[in-house]
Chains A and B, each alone.
Chain A
């Protein structure tokens, strides 16, 4: 695991970026923030493409920039991979030649254990049928897959990804996300993933740093950061929902069991090895409440919970924060219901979950 240590400042007209942080890079780390918050600028500083910044950048024991000591390692000597927002494949080269371009100039040295093999990358990203094609003839999603492969074959110590999905429609996004998940697992390369899309963060990342106005506003485990109500103006509310971690059980009758604390959730079958920890997203509006465990319901998923907090908003709705065996869940019900059921903080309730979005992210431990 590599630690990225930065202590940087950059002023460009009205915009200023000031980041002083050590990021432990492991798995996928999301750098999240609204447009104009300085995310891309931050990546460009790390890559050495933005030379006007002042301060220090180091990865592991290697110093990339130290303005005081007049150190500035040029981009071509930094062991990193960069997947840009636009694909930036070389149009005069075939897909295969693009990959070879990278491999020939690979950062691999005997210091690292094993060079990344071309056939593994081609297999993992399913590039075989694209190799002879010209980059311009590929769809945007295919281009991004090739760009990821090309960055990997350079044997980087960290992979920077700058909103790689932003130019894709929803359908294409769903196609690409599994490939990104696979990268982090198959090749054990930490990924720093820039996005302004909170859904992507929830789906892909373990840790997130929230960037706003050129400053890191919060950093930590994604469930913690996304739960902080004070940050909602910045993060958006993730469609007012919560993320639950569960362990996969067996699959029967087209339904898979997931255990959360001592309870079992049943969801439409997923192809995941039993015992794997997965992440689920439950939208607040999909959670109804009962004060007694109900029988004879079409909703099969009932979790025992405790009310932690009741937020009455301006509308007719109220949002409740619930505790389920140490994890958080949100429920959105009407204010009327809160009054009639006499819901109060600390009370035991039963959360009836109508539907669960399986996020599919396989947590590394």
Chain B
């Protein structure tokens, strides 16, 4: 048995972490806007956000490949900016993962903010809290479960993605060869032992992360209503 290469594991964890961070930064304001807007564009935006839920990863991956490629709108801009291509690179994977996991972060956050509602924010405002202050000291703590769900789903979904990664990133060790692709390759080459170890590892990790979340959710003071 050849020695197990843990590179893909670390790469996947790194990718998931960066993706979740980007998702929170972009997804939170969007989720906030969706939760409170009265704009007529809301349904359109919601449908766009939900698209990755229904599209086959290959469709998404195909368009991303074109868009992010050196000839694509985003890809060309990226080449001008950094002198490197976005496709088949770690950065390209982050962009693809963010788009692919977008609904998994935005929807729980939006639901959580809708659950908080305007009432506590109005109360905070009458107590002299400015909007940013209200957001951090009232809305976010009250929406904590939405954040946890968004982080866990975003993280897990990124760890598990395959199709989009394959289309956009390919299979470059150390750069784009993430755990799911490594497993696929081990199976292709009939290295079932390695496939077993990685698969079982991912299975256990996923289970314990979810278990941890559910236990934490039960202990959350907001839950004791």
**Bound CA–CA A76/B138 (angstroms):** 14
Instruction: Please state if A90 and B126 are interface contacts (CB–CB under 8 Å).
Output: no
On whether the beta carbons of A86 and B129 are closer than 8 Å, the reply is no
The reply to whether B123 and A92 form a contact with Cβ atoms under 8 Å apart is: no
Evaluate contact between B126 and A105: CB separation under 8 angstroms.
no
Number of interface residues of A (CB under 8 A): 28
With a CB–CB cut-off of 8 A, which chain A residues contact B141? 92-93
Question: Residues of A at under 8 Å CB distance from B?
Answer: 47-49, 74-78, 80-82, 84, 86, 88, 90-93, 101-102, 105-107, 134, 136, 150-151, 154
Ranked nearest first, the 7 interchain pairs of A and B with the lowest CB-CB distance are A105-B128, A75-B125, A88-B123, A82-B126, A92-B141, A102-B127, A76-B125
| Number of residue pairs A-B, CB distance < 8 angstroms | 68
Given contacts A92-B222, A136-B225, contact A84 B123 (CB under 8 A): yes
- The contact sample of 19 A-B pairs, CB cut-off 8 A, is A49-B125, A75-B125, A75-B126, A76-B127, A78-B126, A82-B122, A90-B123, A92-B144, A92-B222, A101-B127, A101-B129, A105-B127, A105-B133, A106-B128, A107-B128, A150-B127, A151-B127, A154-B126, A154-B127
B120 at the interface (CB under 8 A from A): yes
Q: Which of A48, A76, A86, A107 has the most CB of B within 10 A?
A: A76
Q: How far is the CA of A81 from the CA of B126 in the complex (A)?
A: 6
The answer to whether A49 and B224 touch across the interface, beta carbons within 8 angstroms, is: no
Contact check, A80 vs B126: say whether CB atoms are below 8 A apart.
yes
* B119 and A105 contacting across the interface, CB-CB below 8 Å: no
Within the assembled complex, what's the spacing in Å between the Cα atoms of A36 and B206? Answer: 53
Contacts of B144 in A (CB 8 A): 92
Encoded as 1 (CB less than 8 Å from any A CB) or 0, chain B from 192 to 209 comes to 000000000000000000
The residues of B that contact A151 with a CB separation of less than 8 Å are 126-127
Cβ contact within 8 Å between B120 and A90: yes
Question: Among the listed B122, B125, B130, B142, which residue makes an inter-chain contact with A91, where contact means beta carbons less than 8 Å apart?
Answer: B142
Interface 0/1 of B105-138, CB less than 8 Å to A: 0000000000000011011111111100100011
